[in-house]
């Protein structure tokens, strides 16, 4: 499934997986093994990611060397903090499957689960 | 002038006294869709009658404007102008002032409410875009990404494209049909644009603090939209899977659907029997009451306007 921003995601994950600074050429070589893609597409996508603050770049000879501005874990943790912030602005728009449950209710639910799990279905 | 006052009083009465009744009728959530409609209709009814009252106030002020001008002219020229001066000073001037203040206040509040909704949308958009890049796509479900986070969580982000976000912690807790129930629940939110209802009611409560209807609406609308999404998820994936998913994500411990499915029959039956004794008539009564309240709230502003005309 290719959709909106799919290439940006694929490229970021490749950069994160490598763990070392990478050039457009290197990523293009890797990408073109699994899909038909133009060099300029990879270049402009990485340029976009740089503009949006996902990638840092430094000139190395003729080419740019790209590094992620933060690790995948940092980005994930940041998103989670934002999503779980209580009373924050995002609370209004992100609807969680279950809200954070308070301790007493959680204890009741836990005991329900324990009791249900203890019943062996015949 | 009298119809404007009538509309204003009606709006006050609904804003202050309807929440208790609506909350009682929607407490069980046995007709979540109708209950949601009743809350939204109450809000629309108050806003409409306030708008009509405002419009009539402005019209009354405009109608009396020539008296004000006349009075001003006469007071400058120093001719006999006693009655119009009294009239204008006592009635028209305050009326014009009130209309001006009311119109300006309404404009500012509407603008602020719109801004708060817009800000919420932008935040969601940015969050969704970042989640789409950071997360890994879940091949089994389109528009769903998984973030590498231990803490179990599942939520949806409205926008273009709308995105459902799961954490790897949630994925590890859920059995396949439970996962399907979670995704169906979130899809129901997105398809029903529930976030918009929540954002608008929250915006209203922020700009009109202290008005019971607007203070209570966000929590009620949130609760009822959750129930609506639950109903749709249960229809798709079955109640046991949905209940197991709720328990698992709520407590952070896995719940085997099989154990639950075996137990759900009698536990659910006992709980339901205790909650609603005898026939299905409570549900029908609840629906009837909610429908009656909704129709009344929807019709009254129009009726008042018609009576005044």
Return the pLDDT at A122. Answer: 41
**Among A96, A85, A74, which Cα is nearest to B157's?**
A96
B161 preceded by a cis bond (ω within 30 of 0)? yes
Please report the residues numbered 203 through 262 in chain B whose beta carbons come closer than 8 angstroms to any beta carbon of chain A: 222, 225-226, 229, 245-251, 253, 255-256, 258-262
Residue A108, domain member (yes or no): no
| Percentage above 90 pLDDT, chain B | 47
- Structural Rg of chain B based on CA atoms: 27
**DSSP state letter for A99:** P
Q: What does the block give as tokens for B115? A: 């801004």
For the stretch A95-116, pLDDT in tens is 788 866 666 766 776 777 676 6
| Percentage above 70 pLDDT, chain B | 83
CB < 8 Å to A109, chain B: 247, 250-251
Q: For residues B264 and B256, what is the distance between their CA atoms, to the nearest angstrom?
A: 12
Mean pLDDT check: name the lowest of A81-85, A92-96, A102-106: A102-106
Number of structural domains, chain B?
1
Question: To 5 degrees, how large is the angle CA B115–CA B121–CA B123?
Answer: 100
Under a CB-based contact definition with an 8 Å cutoff, are residues A6 and B163 in contact?
Answer: no
For the stretch B20-42, pLDDT in tens is 999 999 988 888 999 999 999 99
Return the pLDDT at A95. Answer: 77
Under a CB-based contact definition with an 8 Å cutoff, are residues B199 and A92 in contact?
Answer: yes
Q: For residues B249 and B235, what is the distance between their CA atoms, to the nearest angstrom?
A: 20
Q: Which domain holds residue A50?
A: 6-68
Return the pLDDT at B259. Answer: 64
Q: Count of A–B CB contacts within 8 Å?
A: 141
Mean pLDDT of A18-27: 93
Name which residue leads in pLDDT, B116 or B270. B116
For the stretch B95-124, pLDDT in tens is 788 888 888 998 999 999 899 888 888 888
Residue A103, domain member (yes or no): no
The side-by-side arrangement of strands in the sheet containing B163-167 is A95-96, B154-157, B163-167, B144-147, B136-137
Please answer yes or no on whether A77 and B263 come within 8 Å at the CB atom. no
- B266 CB within 8 Å of a chain A CB: no
Residue A98, domain member (yes or no): no
User: Mutation test of the interface with chain A: which of B193, B250, B260, choosing the one with the most A Cβ atoms within 10 A?
Assistant: B250
Maximum mean pLDDT: which of A105-109, B139-143, B189-193, B271-275:
B189-193
Mean pLDDT over the full length of chain B: 85
Position A1 confidence tier, pLDDT thresholds 50, 70, 90 = very low
Number of structural domains, chain A?
1
Q: What does the block give as tokens for A28? A: 């293009």
Which residue has 């998984």 as its token pair?
B146
Return the pLDDT at B250. Answer: 82
Q: For residues B48 and B40, what is the distance between their CA atoms, to the nearest angstrom?
A: 12
For the stretch B243-269, pLDDT in tens is 888 888 888 878 777 766 555 555 555
Q: Which domain holds residue B250?
A: 2-278+287-308
Q: Length of chain B, please?
A: 309
Return the pLDDT at A53. Answer: 93
Question: To 5 degrees, how large is the angle CA B119–CA B122–CA B123?
Answer: 85
Please answer yes or no on whether A54 and B133 come within 8 Å at the CB atom. yes
Look up the CATH number of the domain holding residue A17. Answer: 1.10.10.10
Which residue has 């994936």 as its token pair?
B237
Return the pLDDT at B279. Answer: 58
pTM: 0.82
For the stretch B116-150, pLDDT in tens is 888 888 888 899 999 999 999 988 888 899 999 99
Please answer yes or no on whether B134 and A76 come within 8 Å at the CB atom. yes
Name which residue leads in pLDDT, B274 or B60. B60
For the stretch B277-296, pLDDT in tens is 555 677 888 999 999 999 99
Mean pLDDT check: name the lowest of A29-38, A75-84, B6-15, B257-266: B257-266
Q: What does the block give as tokens for B65? A: 């404007």
Under a CB-based contact definition with an 8 Å cutoff, are residues B186 and B156 in contact?
Answer: yes
Return the pLDDT at B278. Answer: 55
For the stretch B59-98, pLDDT in tens is 877 777 666 666 666 666 666 555 555 566 666 777 788 8
**DSSP state letter for B259:** H
């Amino acid at each position: 499934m290719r959709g909106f921003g799919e290439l940006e995601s694929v490229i970021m994950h490749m950069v994160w997986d490598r763990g070392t600074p990478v050039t457009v050429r290197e990523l293009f070589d890797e990408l073109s093994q699994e899909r038909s893609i133009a060099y300029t597409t990879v270049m402009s996508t990485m340029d976009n990611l740089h503009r949006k603050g996902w990638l840092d770049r430094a000139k190395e000879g003729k080419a740019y060397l790209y590094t992620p501005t933060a690790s995948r874990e940092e980005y994930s943790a940041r998103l989670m903090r934002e999503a779980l912030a209580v009373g924050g602005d995002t609370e209004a728009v992100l609807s969680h499957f279950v809200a954070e449950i308070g301790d007493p209710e959680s204890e009741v639910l836990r005991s329900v689960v324990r009791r249900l799990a203890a019943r062996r279905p015949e | 002038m009298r119809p404007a006052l009538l509309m204003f009083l009606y709006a006050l009465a609904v804003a202050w006294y309807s929440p208790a009744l609506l909350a009682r009728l929607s407490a069980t959530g046995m007709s979540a869709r109708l209950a949601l409609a009743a809350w939204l209709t109450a809000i629309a009814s108050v806003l409409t009658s306030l708008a009509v009252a405002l419009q009539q106030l402005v019209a009354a002020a405009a109608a009396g404007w020539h008296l004000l001008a006349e009075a001003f002219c006469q007071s400058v020229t120093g001719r006999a102008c006693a009655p119009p001066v009294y009239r204008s000073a006592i009635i028209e001037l305050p009326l014009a002032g009130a209309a001006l203040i009311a119109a300006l206040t309404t404009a500012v509040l509407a603008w602020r409410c719109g801004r708060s909704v817009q800000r919420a949308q932008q935040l969601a958009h940015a969050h969704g875009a970042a989640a789409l890049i950071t997360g890994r796509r879940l091949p089994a479900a389109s528009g769903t990404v998984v973030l590498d986070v231990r803490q179990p969580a599942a939520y949806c982000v409205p926008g273009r494209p709308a995105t459902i976000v799961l954490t790897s912690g949630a994925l590890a807790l859920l059995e396949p049909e439970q996962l399907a129930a979670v995704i169906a629940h979130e899809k129901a939110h997105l398809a029903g644009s529930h976030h918009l209802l929540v954002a608008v009611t929250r915006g209203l409560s922020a700009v009109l603090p202290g008005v019971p209807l607007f203070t209570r609406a966000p929590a009620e609308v949130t609760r009822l939209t959750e129930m609506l999404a639950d109903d749709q998820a249960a229809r798709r994936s079955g109640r046991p899977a949905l209940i197991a998913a709720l328990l698992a994500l709520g407590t952070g411990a896995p719940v085997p659907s099989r154990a639950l499915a075996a137990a759900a029959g009698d536990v659910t039956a006992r709980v339901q029997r205790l909650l609603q004794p005898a026939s299905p008539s409570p549900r029908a009564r609840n629906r009837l009451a909610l429908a009656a309240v909704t129709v009344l709230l929807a019709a009254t502003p129009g009726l008042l306007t018609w009576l005044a005309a």
